[in-house]
Amino acid sequence: MRPLKQRRPRTARQRNAARHVQLLRSRLATDLRRNREDAGLSLSAVADAAGVSKSHLHAIEGGSREPRLEPLARVAAVLGLDLSVRLYPGTGPLIRDHLQAAMLEALLDILHERWRPALEVWVTRPVKGVIDLVLDAGARLDALIATEAQSELRRLEQQIRWSGAKAEALAAARGRPASSLLLLRNTRHVRATLAEHAETVRAAYPARATDAYPSLTGERPWPGAAVLWADIDDGRARVRPTPPRGITSGR
């Protein structure tokens, strides 16, 4: 007899994804049950009209069964509801590539001992998402930073919006003001994007890299929202104390 395979423990990203699915299922179940009851219809009547079994509908309303799209659409039609399935931009993807992981490791390596780091911090209000790295120097120093690492930068405006929203959510969760740190990979494409939108970047991240870097590596006060850069060579990253040549924002 073959030994049973042990199930690998879920990662933090997998647990977050599972919680998100459960939340959506619970909301859908509540909406479905409330609309059926408001219409004064029984489970049997709706199930029969939709061509699904009563037990199946009962399981969906109880949140214990993953609803399939076709029977759900049938039930919605019977209740006179519009079923819409869309994907809306949130606060960025939960999964990072290996280069982002290397960048975060390089940042952790240079941190002064006063900083307490926490990876993949889940926030829920006013937005839901995962912060790549939270840096906390304690309430006495009033320094709390939501850090995002990006090896590519396809949509600058969206990245700025995500970073700001996550910082607000972190502040709400901790009951203290929070700032933003954007860690970027030093590539020609990323440099070109920031050079083209230098004023936008300067408005969103007004602090100088030459003030932010000593604050992370030493005991200088945190200067506020900032951008730092990382060089990657052969899979290993190094955080730069100054912006790359040609970048005017953050100087």
Q: Decide if 140 is inside a domain.
A: yes
Q: Decide if 246 is inside a domain.
A: no
Summary mean pLDDT of the chain = 87
Helix (H, G, I), strand (E, B) or coil at 185: strand
Say which amino acid occupies 12.
A
Q: Count the Cβ atoms, other than its own, within 10 Å of residue 90.
A: 13
Domain that holds residue 183: 98-240
Query: What pTM did the predictor assign?
Result: 0.69
DSSP state of 63: T
Q: Decide if 250 is inside a domain.
A: no
Q: Decide if 151 is inside a domain.
A: yes
Structural domain count of the chain: 2
190-228 pLDDT, tens per residue? 999 999 999 999 999 999 999 999 999 999 999 999 999
Q: Decide if 187 is inside a domain.
A: yes
Q: pLDDT confidence of 186, banded at 50, 70, 90? A: very high
Q: pLDDT confidence of 30, banded at 50, 70, 90? A: confident
Q: Are residues 72 and 102 in the same domain?
A: no
pLDDT for res 213:
98
60-101 pLDDT, tens per residue? 888 887 788 898 889 989 988 888 777 665 666 655 678 898
CA–CA dist 110, 118 (Å, integer): 15
Q: Are residues 236 and 138 in the same domain?
A: yes
56-66 pLDDT, tens per residue? 899 888 888 77
Q: Are residues 125 and 36 in the same domain?
A: no
Q: Are residues 32 and 112 in the same domain?
A: no
Label the pairing between strands 116-123 and 129-136.
antiparallel
Which range of 9-13, 20-24, 25-29, 148-152 scores highest in mean pLDDT? It is: 148-152
Q: Are residues 159 and 227 in the same domain?
A: yes
Q: Decide if 86 is inside a domain.
A: no
Q: Decide if 171 is inside a domain.
A: yes
Q: Are residues 218 and 172 in the same domain?
A: yes
Q: Are residues 120 and 42 in the same domain?
A: no
State mean pLDDT over 234-240.
93
Using CA atoms, how far residue 23 sits from 128, 182, 209, in Å, is 12, 30, 40
Helix (H, G, I), strand (E, B) or coil at 209: helix
Domain CATH for 31: 1.10.260.40
CA–CA dist 92, 157 (Å, integer): 12
Q: pLDDT confidence of 148, banded at 50, 70, 90? A: very high
Domain CATH for 217: 3.40.1350
Q: Are residues 109 and 226 in the same domain?
A: yes
Q: Is 243 exposed, middle or buried (0-12, 13-18, 19+ CB in 10 A)?
A: buried
Q: Are residues 127 and 229 in the same domain?
A: yes
Q: Are residues 162 and 43 in the same domain?
A: no
40 phi/psi in degrees, rounded to 5: 70, 30
